[in-house]
Amino acid sequence: MSRLFEKLQKDVRLQEGLKSCINCGTCTAICPAAEFYDYDPRVIAEKVQSKNDTVIEDLLKSETIWYCGECMSCKTRCPRGNTPGLIIMALRSLSQDLGYFIESEKGRQQLFVKRTVGDWLLNHGYCLYLEGMGTDLFPEQGPIWDWWQENYRDVMDRMGANYQGEGPGILRKIPDETMAEVRKIFDMTGATERFEKIEELSMQKSKELNIEMTQELHNDYMHHVFTHNSHE
C-alpha cells in the first residue's frame, strides 16, 4: 500500500467516504462545484482509489482539491455509498499536515480562513465575529450591513441580543474559563499545530513571492491570497 494512501486511510472520513467507487460520475452530475470549476469528483475518487503515491501527491499539491463546497450533495446520490466530499476533507487535512497546501493558489487561501474564522473561534468562541465582517471584506452585504455596523450595539439591543454581555444570550461574551478550555482542546487535538503550520508556511511563501506579510489581519500577503484569482 502506498505511503500517502496509508496516511489518508487513517482518517475515518476517508474510510467512510471511499468504499468502492465504480466511476459512474453521478457525483459529478449533482456537484455544484463541477458546474462552476474545472472539477470532477469522480476523478478525485478514481485517483485516490489508485493508491498511487505520485498521483496522490500531485492531488495534495493541486488546486483541484480546494474547489469542493462541501455541500455533500454527492453523499445522497452515490449508488455505492461513497462521499467524495468526505474524501476531499481527508485530502485537505493531509495537504495541510504535510505542508503541501502552500503549493497551490487555492490552498494558500487557508491563511485568510485561519486568520478570520480560525482566530475568531479561538479568541472569541464564535466562528464569525461581527466586528470583523465589514463590507470592506464582504461588500455584497450591501448598505443594510453598513447601517448595521455603524449602529451594531443599538441594533443588537433591538434584536434581543446580549452583545458582549454576561450570562446567556445572543453574542454574549464567552467566559474566560470557557475560552481556556477551548484553547486546551485546540492544543490537544491538532488545531494549534495546524494554525502554526499555516502561519509558518505562509510567511515562507510570502518571502518567496516578495509580498509583505505581517501579524496584522490586513497586510499585503493576506490581501493577495484573499483576492488573487488566476483562473487556472
52/174 with CB nearer another protein: 174
> Would you count residue 155 as binding another protein (CB under 8 A)?
yes
- Residue 37 in contact with another protein, rule: CB under 8 A: yes
What gap in Å lies between CA 54 and CA 74, rounded to an integer? 26
> Contact region for another protein (CB under 8 A) — 7-15, 18-26, 50-58, 207-215?
7-15
- Among positions 112-151, residues that touch another protein (CB under 8 A) are 112-114, 116-118, 121, 125-130, 133, 137, 139-148, 150-151
Amino acid identity, residue 6?
A: E
Residue type, 141: Q
Residue 186 interacting with another protein (CB under 8 A): yes
Q: Which residue has the cell 446580549?
A: 162
Ramachandran category for residue 231: left, alpha or beta (phi over 0 → left; psi -120 to 50 → alpha): left
The footprint of another protein on residues 9-28 (CB under 8 A) is 11-13, 16
CB of 178 to another protein, least distance (A): 5
x/- letters, 54..73, toward another protein (CB under 8 A): ------------x-xxxxxx
CB contact at 8 A, 60 and 100: yes
> Near another protein by CB under 8 A, which window of 18-26, 42-50, 55-63, 90-98?
90-98
168-195: b or e for each residue (b if 16 or more CB lie within 10 Å)? eeebbbeeeeeeeebeeebeeeebeebb
Is residue 168 a contact point for another protein (CB under 8 A)?
Answer: yes
- Total binding residues toward another protein, as defined by CB under 8 A: 89
Q: Give the C-alpha separation, 3 to 103, whole Å.
A: 20
